[in-house]
Amino acid sequence: MAYHRETDVLVVGSGAAAFSAAITAKKNGADVIMLEKAALIGGTTLRSGGGYWIPNNRFQREKGIADVKEDALRYMARQARLAPNWAIQRAPSGRKLFWNKH
């Protein structure tokens, strides 16, 4: 299948950062194409239920809560590989904070 299309901005993915980039580019007059390989839009933002987690933040440190960098990276990598069905079934009500489990 041959396909040719030119654009000013090509956005790969459809999570919060991708949509922010696409909207900003479009508002500034750019022609934008957004690509998503998954059946559903949302990327890892869909999996998170729209929430965010900041590893080893100052509030944790003030309370003496350890959040080891390697553990945080493993957790994020594992969450990024979860199937979209898991996200739909669990987010946001099933969302748990990483440090509460350890």
pLDDT tens for 50-79 read 777 788 889 999 999 988 888 888 887 777
Distance CA 91, CA 22 (A): 25
Residue 47 pLDDT exceeds 70: yes
Phi, psi of 40 (to 5 degrees): -120, 145
Amino acid in the structure at residue 40: L
pLDDT on residue 101: 40
Q: Is the dihedral of CA 57, 16, 7, 33 positive or negative?
A: positive
The helix/strand/coil state of 33 is strand
pLDDT on residue 72: 86
Q: In the chain, where are the structural domains located?
A: 9-94
Write out the DSSP string of 63-84: TT----HHHHHHHHHHHHTS-H
pLDDT on residue 54: 86
Q: Is the pTM of this model over 0.75?
A: no
Residue 22 pLDDT exceeds 90: yes
